[in-house]
Amino acid sequence: MDKGLHFMFCVIATMLLLRESSQTGEKNDLKMLAASKSGFGIDSRGPEEGLPTLTVTTILEDPYVMVRSAELEGYCIDLLKALAAMLHFSYKVKVVSDGQYGAISSNGNWTGMVGEILRQEADIAVAPLTVTSAREEVVSFTTPFLQTGIGILLRKDTASHEMSFFHFLAPFSKETWTGLLFAYVLTCFCLFLVARLSPCEWNEPKNEENHFTFLNSLWFGAGALALQGVTPRPKALSVRVIAAVWWLFTIALLAAYIANFTALLSSGSEQLPIQTFEDLVKQRKLEFGTLDGSSTFYFFKNSKNPIHQMIYEYMDKRRDRVLVKTYQEAVQRVMESNYAFIGESISQDLAAARHCNLIRAPEVIGARGFGIATTQASLWTKKLSIAVLKLRESGDLDYLRNKWWETSCLHKSRDRWSPLQPQALGGLFLTLAIGLALGVIAAVVELSNKSRHAAGHVKKSCCSVFTEEMCTRLRIKENTRQSQETSGRANA
């Protein structure tokens, strides 16, 4: 009986111990799960024993910081993780309360992320925060992790204009068309000259009319440009050399024209009428503005450039209508109205990558960079700067740039189409020039050979016969007209 009671007591004690152990394990699992979650105001990297914890302020802006499934992700979050791994610190991410980057308010206090650092509500700011002199006076910045500038974001249908009446001339530049016209006239003149000098083109220069008159030579060159066979057909070797070189020139030229014209039509993009900020000021179709209180706004305010001053005065007078509060609002307004947004070029490149009907104008001004802001005299400033440089040297920053700026749009407008310049056809024009020179030399050689044979029969010097032959061939029309007048008088 005692053994039975003792066995029952052992069984009950064992079951109680197992139950307590199971409950303890479940509690520990729940604690670990809660500690692993991140979000607003929660450690993105849990505090580890012996590691300092930094409070990081940031701002929600695609693709730098975004909310996905109650967690933060983006370029700046990936950068922060890489910096924490290199410098061995943990961090706590919080979104700036007023949604501002940082500017001086009317009462003299700083707003946004800069203000939170000054009030010691955050240790560092990891965000697309532009390094400016005004901000540098109150906080410290690390080496920029992204380089950018100020650009103009437009909607394609508002930025494009109708095709011109002479749009078919667009594949070549004005210089190329001028060079083509000069090459055409020069080649036709060489054909005319060489056909007159060459003995093989006619037998009796005094009695026979040459087929390659200047007008016929122009017609022959035009027919080659259109890939059409025209008469007269060349007989002499010198004339055939010039004709063959001109045919080669026209084939290559037409191939270049057709290829460039096809690229122009397939690109579907005209040369933007708004190329620069000066173009933006001169036009009246689009309103334009920037983020209220941003570094871009103060850039135009402090600039001494007359064009920049005009942009600032325009935005300042219409600040209630043209200034926007957030970047998302700016992009939405560009897409839905006749509005041009002036802002960071790198952010505009992202908008053009995400929205295929948007485009950024070519000109970028005010080169600047995004840096990590810290309190002045902070020991973290130099450490973070060195870490950013190491990430740049290792290619990690380029990897993050490509990762978060990936586009699904086939942006043909990014490969800016431009008219074909003469430099691209320099070899073709040189080949034509060499062919013309060879043709003229061949005609002179042919005429010299005939003059040498003729000099032996008439017992004159070769030079005098050569000169007579050349004068006769170049003045054949005048001699023919005189002979016709003489025969007409004799008949009378």
Which 8-state DSSP code applies to residue 121?
S
User: Taking a C-beta distance cutoff of 8 angstroms, is the pair 365, 372 a contact?
Assistant: no
User: Taking a C-beta distance cutoff of 8 angstroms, is the pair 118, 66 a contact?
Assistant: no
Q: Given this model, what pLDDT does residue 256 score?
A: 86
Q: Given this model, what pLDDT does residue 159 score?
A: 56
Q: Given this model, what pLDDT does residue 277 score?
A: 92
Q: Given this model, what pLDDT does residue 12 score?
A: 63
Q: Other C-beta atoms within 10 Å of 203: how many?
A: 8
Q: Given this model, what pLDDT does residue 139 score?
A: 94
Q: Given this model, what pLDDT does residue 41 score?
A: 44
CA atoms within a 13 Å half-sphere pointing along the CA-CB vector of 164: 10
- If DSSP codes are grouped into helix, strand and coil, which group holds residue 342? strand
- In the annotated binding site for L-glutamate, the residues are 128, 130, 135, 295-296, 344
How would you list the strands of the sheet with 373-374, edge to edge?
43-45, 90-95, 53-58, 124-125, 373-374, 140-141
Which 8-state DSSP code applies to residue 413?
G
Q: Given this model, what pLDDT does residue 26 score?
A: 40
Q: Rounded to 5 degrees, what angle do the CA atoms 413, 418, 420 make?
A: 150
Give the burial class of 173: count Cβ atoms within 10 A of its Cβ; 0-12 exposed, 13-18 middle, 19 or more buried: middle
Helix (H) or strand (E) holding 86: helix 75-87
- In the annotated binding site, the residues are 128, 130, 135, 295-296, 344
pLDDT (tens digit, 9 = 90+) per residue, 310-336? Answer: 999 999 999 889 999 888 899 999 999
The list of the chain residues with pLDDT below 70 reads 1-50, 159-167, 202-210, 230, 265-272, 408-418, 420, 454-460, 462, 465-466, 468-470, 472-492
User: Taking a C-beta distance cutoff of 8 angstroms, is the pair 269, 412 a contact?
Assistant: yes
| CA separation for the pair 367, 379 (Å, rounded) | 28
The pTM of the full predicted model, rounded to 2 decimals, is: 0.51
Q: Given this model, what pLDDT does residue 32 score?
A: 34
Q: Given this model, what pLDDT does residue 33 score?
A: 32
